[in-house]
Structure 1
Amino acid sequence: MTGIIIQQIFNALTIGAIYAMIALGYTMVYGVLRLINFVHGDLFMLGAYVALAGFVLLAPGGGLVWALAAALIAIAVFMVVGGVGVAIERTAYKPLRNSNRLAPMLSSLGLSLALQTAVQITMGPQPIAFQSLFPAIPLDFLGARITTVQIGIVVAALLLMVGLKLFIARSRLGVVVRAVSENRRTAQLLGVDVDKAISTIFFIGPGLGALGGVLFASYYGVMMPTMGIIIGLKAFTAAILGGIGSITGAVVGGFLLAFFEVFGTAMLPILTNGWLGTEYRDIFAFLMLILVLLFRPAGLFGEQTSEESMVMKRDF
């Protein structure tokens, strides 16, 4: 019994690390622009395809060359998909920056469909096998069977998240991003380069989401053009759970959602006497979303606002 619990804990930590990385992209964009970037899930998917192309070009035979190429490919994925994120912001969001919130939201939905379709046309709609970014070595730990892939995913994700937190908190550019997030118009009046701050979050957010896609494909060993839909919605749920706009909240929300999903899925066949199986695991994420919106819409780390505070923060 102890081994099963430990196994599920490691499973939840692995999935939670991936959810948290994707949720960071949602929460960063919303924190600055108050925009739900629905194309973010498809940029998560694009990261896996860019990584596969990199492995085919740089290390087609695997082995030591493949291992040495992994870090370089991870950097390339971050840069390429981050660049795509900046291009999307410049072409699809910036012209609509002063419009009502519905216009950029519809633009993001259209971009999501366009990106999915483009990948399906170029790579095909079928699932494609993906070789793990980390060597798959099984380890026995107190009766649980853990792999080095899981350990690698959790460690890599935590290092990236800590790096992002330090960047936002201590770098000069991070101060600019926080200033624009607090009040975009006031920051602009004070001489802050708003466009630079927005481009920064549209570079870092999609880049982290793309690396999350690489970790996801490494864990499950497969990728497909539509894999960003459900995973993107789950990461969005994690961002709402933690308090969208909060970096800490996105990380905590990702891990909490994963634990709720993994342990709920494990208990579901027992509680329903086999009537519902593990194939219904997705219901836990959306059940969590409903509960959060009903009882704590601002999330765990979100700012509770009233009508008076919204008036004080309104841009004039």
Structure 2
Amino acid sequence: MEQFFQQLLNGLAVGGIYALVALGYTMVYGVLKLINFAHGDLFTIGAYLGLTLLVSGGLAGSLPPVLAVLLVFFMVGLLVALIGCALERVAYRPLRKAGRLSAVVSALGASIFFQNAVMLVYGARPYVYPNSLRPDFTIELFGYALPGMRVMVIAATIALMLALWAFIQKTRLGAAVRAVAIDQGAARLMGINVNRIISLVFLIGPGLGGMAGLLVGMYYGKIDFTMGWTYGLKAFTAAILGGIGNIPGAMLGGLLLGVVEALAASYVAFAWKDAVAFCVLILILIIRPTGILGERTADKL
């Protein structure tokens, strides 16, 4: 029972990271019907920027570790959000009236550009987050000793997901995002600045992805310039699993994928965890082709 509980929490931590990245995919698809293949590389940039700010920027030495990590967490989100907004202006907006294939090629080109830029700036070797910055404590919960870093990752991801859901559902800007996702032409007639809303989506999605990159660095302690491909693929899978274009679906899909992977690695075999996760995806899509929540709010945020 203890092993199951530990693996469940581990799956929720990893799944929360998948969900944060998946939100970027699903928001962009919901508004533009475009798969932003460069999103995984923005996640990688977040991991490297976090390490740079903490170590080379001197924040880790001048501030208490917890405060330094918290400050860098939001700084990374802001910086990657700005990069994502610039990506939309340069790579996607000029092609908005072109065919979808042109936008897909542009997204793939942006992905290759970002991955190689990270490799040229930081080198091809992996980087390690200093142990002094990673919390080394345990928390007692239901009689079990849980690693503090795992609990912090779960809490951070759930807080960010709930904040995004509240923003989309409870604010005027969130209503504008939902209106643009449903019908851009009608949204323009209602006085909504569609270009500004699309830029906002490219601020929020990459910002969450950059924060997720920092969480991965803190959680596993090791990053490399190709990690965006792996996490991007898993997050895209989570978005499809929950229902592409659906924000609650992306959250649910990410958490479910992480839990399935963790339990498969523990009770089947570590080498088979990806195969088991994709088998679950296939089974769910056979039963519900639009994803778990996709049919209820198809193509809507």
Give the TM interval when normalised to the shorter protein. over 0.9
5 Å matches for 1:197-216?
Answer: 197-216=197-216
**Equivalence for 1:194:** 194
CA distance in 1, matches of 2:213, 2:33: 24
Give, in angstroms, the shift of residue 125 of structure 1.
1.0
SS state at 2:244 partner: coil
CA distance in 2, matches of 1:90, 1:202: 10
C-alpha change, 1:106 and 1:295, in structure 2 (3 Å) is farther
CA distance in 2, matches of 1:163, 1:304: 22
C-alpha change, 1:188 and 1:280, in structure 2 (3 Å) is same
Give, in angstroms, the shift of residue 85 of structure 1.
0.5
Bigger mean CA offset, 256-265 vs 85-94: 256-265
**Equivalence for 2:156:** 156
Give, in angstroms, the shift of residue 64 of structure 1.
4.7
SS state at 2:64 partner: helix
Give the structure with higher Rg (CA): 1
Identity %: 44
So what's the TM-score if we normalise by structure 1? 0.88
Q: Quick check: 1:78–1:211 contact (8 Å CA) kept in 2?
A: yes
1:300 maps to amino acid: I
C-alpha change, 1:140 and 1:304, in structure 2 (3 Å) is closer
Q: Quick check: 1:11–1:262 contact (8 Å CA) kept in 2?
A: yes
SS state at 1:281 partner: helix
Give, in angstroms, the shift of residue 188 of structure 1.
1.5
Taking CA–CA contacts closer than 8 Å with sequence separation of 6 or more, which of the two structures ends up with the larger relative contact order? 2
1:248 aligns with 2:260: no
Give, in angstroms, the shift of residue 172 of structure 1.
1.6
Give, in angstroms, the shift of residue 292 of structure 1.
3.7
**Equivalence for 1:100:** 99
Q: Quick check: 1:134–1:148 contact (8 Å CA) kept in 2?
A: no
Give, in angstroms, the shift of residue 230 of structure 1.
1.2
1:298 aligns with 2:297: no
CA distance in 1, matches of 2:48, 2:181: 32
Q: Quick check: 1:31–1:245 contact (8 Å CA) kept in 2?
A: yes
CA distance in 2, matches of 1:109, 1:86: 17
Q: Quick check: 2:34–2:103 contact (8 Å CA) kept in 1?
A: yes
The CA RMSD measured in Å over matched residues stands at 2.2
1:117 aligns with 2:116: yes
C-alpha change, 1:171 and 1:41, in structure 2 (3 Å) is same
CA distance in 2, matches of 1:25, 1:142: 34
Deviations 1:85-106 (A, max 9, x none): 0010011111111122111111
1:137 aligns with 2:129: no
**Equivalence for 2:235:** 235
CA distance in 1, matches of 2:173, 2:296: 27
Give, in angstroms, the shift of residue 264 of structure 1.
1.5
CA distance in 2, matches of 1:236, 1:187: 27
Give, in angstroms, the shift of residue 280 of structure 1.
3.4
**Equivalence for 1:91:** 90
> Structure 1 stretches of 5 or more lacking a match?
269-276
Bigger mean CA offset, 196-205 vs 125-134: 125-134
C-alpha change, 1:37 and 1:3, in structure 2 (3 Å) is same
SS state at 2:146 partner: strand
C-alpha change, 1:278 and 1:176, in structure 2 (3 Å) is same
Q: Quick check: 2:177–2:197 contact (8 Å CA) kept in 1?
A: yes
The alignment of Structure 1 onto Structure 2 pairs a total of residues equal to 299
Deviations 1:108-153 (A, max 9, x none): 1111111111111110111110146651213465675421101111
So what's the TM-score if we normalise by structure 2? 0.93
Give, in angstroms, the shift of residue 259 of structure 1.
1.3
Give, in angstroms, the shift of residue 260 of structure 1.
1.2
C-alpha change, 1:191 and 1:143, in structure 2 (3 Å) is closer
Give, in angstroms, the shift of residue 13 of structure 1.
1.1
> Structure 2 stretches of 5 or more lacking a match?
none
